Structure 1
Amino acid sequence: MFFSFRALTTSLCSGLSFCMLAPAPALADSTNLMSRSTLTGDWGGERQKLLDKGIKLTGEYSSETISNLHGGIKRGTRYAQQIRIGAQFDLSKLLDTPDAGVVQIIINDRRGHSATEDLLGNRLSAQENYGGEYTRLTEFSYQRNLFSKDLSAKVGYMVMGTEFGGMPILTNFVSAGFCAHPLTMSSGSGWGNYPTAHWGGELRYDVNPSLTLQTAVFQVNPEHNARPSEAFSMPSNDTTGAILPLEAIFNNHAFLDGQYKVGWYYDTSNYQKIGSTEKSSNRTGAYVLFDQAIWKDEQDPESVLRLFGQAATSNAATSPMRRWYSVGLVKQKPFANRPKDTIAFGYGRAVINSRTRDEQEAAAINFGESDMIASLDNGEQMLELNYGAQVTPWLLVRPDMQYYIEPGAFFGKKRGNALAVGLQIKATF
């Protein structure tokens, strides 16, 4: 079979078995399984009691099973999963002190195998939840308002990509090419995306309902932050520099609403230039993101068609991925009786740095290989189409199809265009 039944069964059973971690009162929850907001319910009222005291406990599971049907390296199926457990402490309630702030703790665990590495041989990961396959501390932070509710600060050990450079609409996709940040950021600087955390601080100012400005400073520590042996030690040694992002967020509150983000970042780290023995004294990049409703049913505002786009550029001297572009559509509430479902389609193109291509050609072992590399496209293209079925408030099932054009472009390899199908499952506990 093209699509592994064993992998799919593992995907379902692994997620459902996580409910065993819930407190015993969950087994006695009288609410309807299909209508409750989480799989484990209210734990016989204990969950709400904790929330009233200022303690919010969360649990999430996701899996992505991808089968390569054609092209790439070889046919086959790969499964990857993620489990995230979080606790949020509202200090205003716990300490009975106004505006005392919030402490957030997140532990993340990833397991599985990569369809991109094993089957497709491309650059844009087909599974957004693959990478760093071990248990780690992903966030230990403190957040509170400063002087007014319009100005807030957050400090601690956390993921900078949680607040910067992404858009919620892009979580409707399975491939990391879309969900949820342009990959030029992490490819060409010390930018860190989930679940890799760094020490840092963020500052956010809501200028007015239509404009928000935010900035931050994060430690760049690529060696220690990726070590499984230091997954809970929150390392700060051997820092190579700091990365400072700046972002402006524009919110369109019209009937056809939208959000636009413009960002720039500066990494102070010295980094080897591609094709040179010299080092660059810094790394920079910029991006523009937008999510705009282009059609909405006046009688049913939940039925909306949204257009999104991304354009990002990174440092020419150091980044193997020079630019990233994407555009796509997301239809929310595609059918009257499916209010929380979505249909998503996206097209993306990642452009390789010409210096990287020159290095590939120079490393060729003969003229034939050099000519082959020179004939490759200067980037990888991808298309994704999926249907997100919100089966219950706590369970999402997303059948998915992905197509990759020139999947070997970033590696100087001639590989056939790849067609993959998959299934994403998300459950909230």
Structure 2
Amino acid sequence: MLLAGFVTLSTVRPALAQSTQGGASSSRATLTGDWGGLRTRLKDRGITFNAHYASEGAAIISGGPYRTGRYTHQFDLETLFDLDKLAGIPDAHVQFTLTDRFGRSLTNDVLHNQFSVQELYGAGQNFRLAELNYQQDFADHRIQIELGWSPLGDHLARLPDFCKFQNGVICGHANAMTTNSGAHNFPTAQWGARITAYPVPHFYVTSGVFQVNPDAGDKDKGFDLGFDSTGVFVPVEFGWETGRGEDGLPGDYKVGAYYNSSDTPDVYEDVNGMPAAFTGASFLEHNGRYGAYAIASQTIYKPDPDSPHGLRLGVMAGGGDRATSRYSWFWLAGGVWQGTFAGRDKDYIAFMAGYARTNPRLTRYQRERDSIAPGSVGIQTYESVVEVDYGAVVAPWLTFRPNLQYILRPGGTGAMRNALVLGLYTQVTF
């Protein structure tokens, strides 16, 4: 199950051996190098290629229903076209990204917890177009626009320093918020437009309008670029970027909200305003749903301004509307320590804890449904996760990240034992 990590290690070992003998690949940024100078020539002319292979193995080593494991992986290929160099359009780019996913999920197959222990799993587990959009900056980068096919979470409600975890409760943005809002995140995309403005230095406001297509992440929708929609998604975020000077400690502070205009079912009441658990009637439909969040991320320690070492802490909290949200509120907190030991400046230790509280109205519906049909539905209250990772940057193009996750109340019901999960994340940059 974690065999995939060892397979990857055996695959890249010859390259590491060559780096020891020839002194080349251990310092270059990518496994495949500069392609005899072609890569640099293409970049100079305005075409930049990036590709990654990432895998995640996960195994239950204590608790849960039984001991077992699963493996999944993702390959992505990104091409960035610099339109200034290619067509004389200043500060403009076109981004084109393809992804391919394959594998099995320990969460889906065994644990049935709410936040996947393998964040690379999902989005149809297929070959898909993840990004095809036009980006341009104006007014000395104070105004930025993006138009086209984009994952909503690329620029909104993000904690980018917290993409160093394997659990899907967070990778830059909180999974609980995605579930409440009906939005899609990478590699699932939708048509949309976004604008970001900096009215004063280090303070921004960003907003946009995006298509809502609940089926966009399905297996057969990898290249379906249709305009079918159940509504529009409108986010707004305000951000403050601190400590960007030479001697500062960088920090990011954000507050945001969203509105999804799609009809959304109530979690408790039926169409007549009565308890749906007892009547069996269809749930009441609401004209939209909404929610809000707050994010803080701050570097609190660096031995000196130029040091690669340091400690960054972060926290995120938010919630959804009482009528429709699965989670009434959630929080996440954690940190990343960069530079673990002497000579390991790029290695890091990452730690986090997350908690999501099931909407009490949904819990009430489940209790009432269970009272008339015992065992027909699980009664969810909350789920929590704690994770610790060690990121070993073996070469600029190769990272191994063993991790431990502890899942409290898998599925939010308390019906399954808490689970200790051993994971291994591997990334190769080509």
The alpha-carbon distance between structure 1 residues 84 and 337, as it changes in their structure 2 partners (threshold 3 A), is: same
Give 3-state SS (helix, strand or coil) of 1:363's partner: helix
What number of residue pairs does the alignment pair up?
406
1:322 aligns with 2:328: yes
Q: Is the 1:105–1:139 Cα contact (8 Å) retained in structure 2?
A: yes
Q: Could you tell me which residue of structure 2 aligns to residue 262 of structure 1?
A: 255
Alignment match of 1:391 (pick from 390, 394, 409): 394
**Which residue type is aligned with residue 396 of structure 2?**
P
- Write the mapping of 1:183-332 to structure 2, written as runs, cut at 5 A: 183-223=175-215, 225-237=216-228, 239-253=229-243, 255-276=248-269, 277-298=283-304, 301-332=307-338
Q: Is the 1:71–1:120 Cα contact (8 Å) retained in structure 2?
A: no
Q: Could you tell me which residue of structure 2 aligns to residue 153 of structure 1?
A: 145
Alignment match of 2:5 (pick from 5, 8, 23): 8
Structure-1 separation of matches of 2:63 and 2:384: 14
Q: Is the 1:11–1:65 Cα contact (8 Å) retained in structure 2?
A: no
- Percent identity of equivalent pairs: 35
Structure-1 separation of matches of 2:176 and 2:108: 19
Structure-2 separation of matches of 1:114 and 1:366: 33
Q: Could you tell me which residue of structure 2 aligns to residue 417 of structure 1?
A: 418
In structure 1, runs of 5+ residues without a counterpart are 20-29
Measured after TM superposition, the shift of residue 206 of structure 1 is 2.0
Q: Is the 1:75–1:119 Cα contact (8 Å) retained in structure 2?
A: no
Measured after TM superposition, the shift of residue 72 of structure 1 is 2.1
Measured after TM superposition, the shift of residue 152 of structure 1 is 1.6
Structure-1 separation of matches of 2:119 and 2:304: 35
Deviations 1:87-124 (A, max 9, x none): 111111112x1416211100011111111122322111
Measured after TM superposition, the shift of residue 255 of structure 1 is 2.3
Measured after TM superposition, the shift of residue 78 of structure 1 is 0.6
Measured after TM superposition, the shift of residue 240 of structure 1 is 0.7
Alignment match of 2:409 (pick from 400, 403, 406): 406
Q: Could you tell me which residue of structure 2 aligns to residue 48 of structure 1?
A: 40
Structure-2 separation of matches of 1:168 and 1:207: 23
Give the aligned CA root-mean-square deviation in angstroms. Answer: 2.2
Structure-1 separation of matches of 2:383 and 2:48: 42
In structure 2, runs of 5+ residues without a counterpart are 16-21, 270-282
Measured after TM superposition, the shift of residue 16 of structure 1 is 5.7
Measured after TM superposition, the shift of residue 146 of structure 1 is 3.5
Measured after TM superposition, the shift of residue 185 of structure 1 is 2.2
Q: Is the 2:83–2:94 Cα contact (8 Å) retained in structure 1?
A: yes
Q: Is the 1:182–1:312 Cα contact (8 Å) retained in structure 2?
A: no
Q: Could you tell me which residue of structure 1 aligns to residue 100 of structure 2?
A: 109
Structure-2 separation of matches of 1:99 and 1:180: 29
Q: Is the 1:198–1:218 Cα contact (8 Å) retained in structure 2?
A: yes
Q: Could you tell me which residue of structure 1 aligns to residue 279 of structure 2?
A: none
Q: Could you tell me which residue of structure 2 aligns to residue 360 of structure 1?
A: 366
**Which residue type is aligned with residue 399 of structure 1?**
P
Q: Is the 1:373–1:413 Cα contact (8 Å) retained in structure 2?
A: no
Mean Cα deviation higher: 32-41 or 246-255? 246-255
**Which residue type is aligned with residue 268 of structure 2?**
G
Structure-1 separation of matches of 2:368 and 2:415: 16
Q: Is the 2:94–2:135 Cα contact (8 Å) retained in structure 1?
A: yes
Structure-2 separation of matches of 1:185 and 1:325: 10
The alpha-carbon distance between structure 1 residues 255 and 122, as it changes in their structure 2 partners (threshold 3 A), is: same
Deviations 1:203-239 (A, max 9, x none): 011223321211111000112x1233331131212x1
The alpha-carbon distance between structure 1 residues 143 and 368, as it changes in their structure 2 partners (threshold 3 A), is: closer
Deviations 1:223-273 (A, max 9, x none): 2x1233331131212x11101111111111162221111111111111111
Give the 4+ runs in structure 1 shifted more than 4 A.
10-13, 365-370
Q: Is the 2:5–2:426 Cα contact (8 Å) retained in structure 1?
A: no
Structure-2 separation of matches of 1:422 and 1:84: 21
Q: Could you tell me which residue of structure 1 aligns to residue 116 of structure 2?
A: 125
Q: Is the 1:64–1:424 Cα contact (8 Å) retained in structure 2?
A: yes
Measured after TM superposition, the shift of residue 368 of structure 1 is 7.3
Deviations 1:113-170 (A, max 9, x none): 1111223221111111110200000111011124543112110011110011111111
Alignment match of 2:384 (pick from 367, 376, 381): 381
Structure-1 separation of matches of 2:79 and 2:305: 39
Give 3-state SS (helix, strand or coil) of 1:93's partner: helix
